[in-house]
Amino acid sequence: MADGTLSFKLPEERQEFDLACKASDFLFVLDGFANHLRSHIRHSTDPDWDTATVEKLYELINQMKTEHCLHFD
C-alpha cells in the first residue's frame, strides 16, 4: 500500500496548511448543498425558488466536481 505525505513550512505556509486540512470539510458542504438542490428539483421543497435556476446550479456543481475529480464513491 502506498502512502502520501503533504509537507508545509510553518508558519510561512500556514494558510495552505489550513486549507489542506479543511478541504474535505468544504467538499462535504458542497456535496450537501448539491443534495439540497437535488431534493428541491425532485420535491419542490421551496416554492420561492425558481426550479430552472436550481437545476442549472445543480448541473454546474456536478460538472465542476467532475472536472476536478471530486465525486464521492
Write out pLDDT tens, residues 38-60: 988 898 877 788 889 999 999 99
The structure's pTM equals: 0.71
Per-residue pLDDT band for 13 (boundaries 50, 70, 90) equals very high
CA gap 64, 69 in Å, rounded:
8
CA gap 46, 36 in Å, rounded:
11
Question: Which alpha helices (DSSP H) does 1-73 contain, by range?
Answer: 14-43, 51-67
pLDDT computed for residue 73 by the predictor: 55
